[in-house]
Amino acid sequence: MSAKKQKESQAEKNFENIGEALSSSEQFLEKNQKSLLTGLLIVVVLVGAYLAYHYLYKLPRNEKAQAALFKGERYFQEGEDSLALFGNGNDFPGFESVISQYKGTRSADLAHAYAGISYNRMGNNEKALEHLKKFKGGDLLITPAVVGAIGDVYMNMGESDKAIDQFLKAAKKADDQMLSPINYKKAGEVYLKEGNYDKAIEIFTRIKEEYINTPEGQEADKYIKQAELLKESK
């Protein structure tokens, strides 16, 4: 058999195989038409339910939560922590209410952060930790700030080791020229207070070398000299 005929024969076989496959598919569709239509209907219903939930419930709910949170941010920035937490009895219900009413929204998550810092400023360490630890985050700026705020609470509670751990975590997580030197400085100050002068020198030297153009970098030498003098006087 010539090569041409072999190719033609193979093409015919391939065509027959395709035909058989299509025929089998047709038979399958005929036999399972009801099941397939039911499955398709279920998918359509599920997609429709998701879209309705997303556009008719979730988005409006998020917008309401954002509006409520916005009013509280003003009280928070002005240091009116009690009003920020519990509302003004008029047009703002308070961060605590935002958290309970709009659970699962981004605004409720942010309200945990605001509430935690407000409770910390009011001296309620337990409530501060409760809210700050519930913050899920994901934001490149807010998340490191909250991690550092947890360190502030631990300092208020006299738990220096935990505070240092949080400050170092916050500095590494931020990895920037703003929050990183601030949190490294906090860790360095705790080391100084605790008498760990070698670690204090290490931290402030790092600030000086890596964050020289920041306020913390500009004053790092002062802390290094202080730590060296205290170390010599031991």
Measured between alpha carbons, how far is 132 from 149 in angstroms, rounded to an integer?
8
**Is the pLDDT higher at 45 or at 125?**
125
Per-residue confidence (pLDDT) for residue 138, from 0 to 100: 75
The percent of residues above 70 in pLDDT, for the chain, comes to 74
Yes or no: say if 112 and 99 are a contact pair by the CB < 8 Å rule.
yes
Burial 84-99 (b: 16+ CB within 10 A, else e): bbebeeeebbbbbbbb
CB 133 within 8 A of CB 150: yes
Check: CB of residue 118 under 8 Å from CB of residue 131: no
As a whole-number percent, the residues of the chain with pLDDT over 90 amount to: 61
Domain locations in the chain? 46-136, 138-234
Q: Which residue has the higher pLDDT, 42 or 187?
A: 187
| pLDDT at residue 7 in the model | 45
Note the pLDDT of residue 45: 38
pLDDT at 139: 75
CA distance 68 to 99: 10
Chain mean position to CA 39: 37
- Tens of pLDDT along 62-114? 788 888 888 889 999 999 999 999 999 888 899 999 999 998 888 899 999 99
pLDDT tens-place string over residues 2-59:
554 454 454 444 444 444 554 555 555 455 565 545 554 444 434 433 333 333 344 5
User: What integer pLDDT is reported at residue 141 of this predicted model?
Assistant: 79
Going from the C-alpha of 108 to that of each of 120, 168, 177, 196, the distances in angstroms are 18, 27, 28, 40
- Which has more pLDDT, 26 or 166? 166
Pick from 22-31, 135-144, 189-198 the range whose average pLDDT is largest: 189-198
pTM: 0.73
Class of the 138-234 domain?
mainly alpha
178-191 as b/e, with b when 16 or more CB fall inside 10 Å?
ebbbbbbbbbbbbb
pLDDT of residue 30: 56
**Average pLDDT score, the chain:** 82
Helix 179-194 / helix 142-156 crossing angle, nearest 10 deg: 20
Looking at residue 14, its pLDDT comes to 46
